[in-house]
Structure 1
């Protein structure tokens, strides 16, 4: 019996690639379907799509903004969506109402603190609580204003990302998200540890140093003395005061974390352009390549200018607040500590404050550092590959001052760290001349 030859052809390389694309799209469809099912069924198993990154800043900052919304900040919807087009802000939503209520309560708390300060002597230890509460109120207002502009800002950011050189490897796409999450985890953990130490110190004060017989009542009065200066003590009011104190403390630390993340996101954009330049370092490239690279660089600079217009007030507030409390804490370090718990809390708080101030300066100054890196490649362009577009690009990089600012009063560069350190030393020397030994905790 004759056997007919098979008419089935082996798939070509092009056919296999198309099949692979179809399978990948089918897998993505299954992943999206499983995500939709997971929303209705509650707990679900993780899928491959949960661990993939597209490298966008919107994706990286989403989980960080979720944490902020727990504490009444950044009331924006769609922060965990894949695309920035899903971001929306509405004044009629639970998130916004929660934030507005937080602003109102913080305003009342600040007014009560102001009343306490004006009733007492105008001393450093009395002014510090007022500065803290005013800062917490301004932080809440700044984040509420930022939430209104956030959807449009992220759309602009996403458009810039799409015009930059694509990431070459999956590690490059997940690098930004990993850095953002690591910085957030470390800073939030340290802030939580510092606050727990303050609670332990307050409990020690309430048990051993308070004239009241009830240590619980003494602890809550120490947390919110401005409240019980006017109102009679009650349990529900005491817990409300402590809850508001936790929210204010988180907002104080979260502002610095958010600014670090902004610095990371903007500097990563320059990193994408620089990676493309590093691949052609020392090679002769057509003029069109340099034109495209220069335009990409200008897009990032325009985005930085737009971001600076939104967050420059927050940067100014962060630096002023950190500078004030660093000086006050260093001044208090001269005094004797009444107990080991106070000693541990005080120096842990001082170390955290100094480290956080330094980290904010370095992460924000990284934007300026990365903006000048193209010069390292331009210097190695061969003579036969040099053109007018390269000269124009190099001139822009060398002359333009690309940096975030504090309301246009100062640029955040690496040299600012030394300037801030010098300012702290100068103020500290002046304060020490008028300083007198005092018992900060009224406990022997």
Structure 2
């Protein structure tokens, strides 16, 4: 959201004007601030994200944003290698590989966002062409609704993510003071947080801060993937809502066949856009669900251990609640695309007999027969029923893991 100041297209800051509060209702405009945040954390190196239209978007390999992103990926590759070394030389079990899963997930997500950035300008231009074919917004509230919803989702999720990371830092500091590995408490903290680096190298201040900065970037990328997918779900859902509002205005009325022809073409354009979007983000969707499934299982398994301190207790259950809520939110926001795609059937059922045309039958057939949903690399469709499937999978895995569970001392200073 814009307040008293806003970013210019060149990245500077100026005082906001009345024009900054007038929305065109487009997804490109709504998602711009979210991409600004992403680029601050080395993701989505696209130029022109704050341009007035998608025509200003571009992606270039020979660009500071892209090289900044590639440098981050190289640093993450090195950090993942150090994590593999630490994990392999330790005790291998489902809990101890958690750092490796985390780093591998971030690395794959970084590659996924770089690949998406190259496709983003063309994707947003296609999105805008579809928006222009849909029924126009009737009021300024309708035009700003998408931006407001995207900004609310972004603000809530980013705030919760920062809060969770702050609690993690407090917990780590508390642990470093209780079980110091060094005389200096600051050094002890860094030895705990970036242990994979100092498993190989001797302690140094610049390595400690390098590791901490990379840890912050990785943690943000881990949460941002889910935020981004939720925003995509919101954007696609809003397209179906525009068509739905147009249909509700003629509910029960006799409309000419040309109206239903136009509505069917609008519906088909949205479906084609969803297919193109899915082809670009399905890898991230698969990664998000796999990542959330693993960490929910691990966190639930850890909840059986005795919490060694109040700081650990508060951080652990806040983190678990955030993870469960985020997993559920991703599933519901993405499944809403499928839910909204079927809502026009409710209006079609109310068409008077004299207003029924062959085009209405074709539209009804397309809605009823086609499965319009985002997917995880085409392996599964993200529908509302998937939430129950994921919940059942978590319960099944948890029952298996419990059989091998042994209470661990989370306050082990050895």
Shorter-chain-normalised TM-score: which range? Answer: over 0.9
Is 1:401 aligned to 2:371, yes or no?
A: yes
Give distance in 1, aligned partners of 2:169 and 2:9.
Answer: 38
Give the drift of 1:124: 2.4
Partner of 1:231: 201
Partner of 1:26: none
Q: Report SS of the residue matched to 1:402.
A: coil
Say whether the 8 Å CA contact 2:181–2:191 is kept in structure 1: no
Say whether the 8 Å CA contact 2:29–2:50 is kept in structure 1: yes
Give the drift of 1:211: 4.0
Give the drift of 1:209: 1.8
**Residues 137-286 of structure 1: matches in 2 within 5 Å?**
137-286=107-256
Match of 1:367 among 313, 337, 347: 337
Give distance in 2, aligned partners of 1:253 and 1:440.
Answer: 25
Say whether the 8 Å CA contact 1:73–1:144 is kept in structure 2: yes
Say whether the 8 Å CA contact 1:157–1:303 is kept in structure 2: yes
**Residues 51-70 of structure 1: matches in 2 within 5 Å?**
51-70=21-40
Q: CA RMSD in A?
A: 1.5
Is 1:434 aligned to 2:404, yes or no?
A: yes
Match of 1:295 among 265, 275, 278: 265
Q: Report SS of the residue matched to 1:150.
A: helix
CA separation of 1:51 and 1:200: change in aligned 2, threshold 3 A: same
Say whether the 8 Å CA contact 1:338–1:443 is kept in structure 2: no
Number of matched pairs? 408
CA separation of 1:131 and 1:159: change in aligned 2, threshold 3 A: same
Partner of 2:328: 358
Give the drift of 1:198: 0.4
Q: TM-score, normalised by structure 1?
A: 0.90
Match of 2:77 among 107, 110, 120: 107
Give the drift of 1:39: 8.0
Give distance in 1, aligned partners of 2:294 and 2:15.
Answer: 48
Give distance in 1, aligned partners of 2:241 and 2:14.
Answer: 36
Say whether the 8 Å CA contact 2:274–2:373 is kept in structure 1: yes
**Residues 10-21 of structure 1: matches in 2 within 5 Å?**
none
Partner of 2:349: 379
Give distance in 2, aligned partners of 1:149 and 1:333.
Answer: 41
Give distance in 1, aligned partners of 2:242 and 2:51.
Answer: 23
Structure 2: tracts of 5 or more residues without a match: 1-5
Give the drift of 1:443: 4.8
Give distance in 2, aligned partners of 1:431 and 1:124.
Answer: 9
Partner of 2:67: 97
CA separation of 1:315 and 1:44: change in aligned 2, threshold 3 A: closer
Give distance in 2, aligned partners of 1:411 and 1:230.
Answer: 43
Partner of 2:3: none
Give distance in 2, aligned partners of 1:290 and 1:320.
Answer: 41
Q: Report SS of the residue matched to 2:195.
A: coil
Is 1:136 aligned to 2:106, yes or no?
A: yes
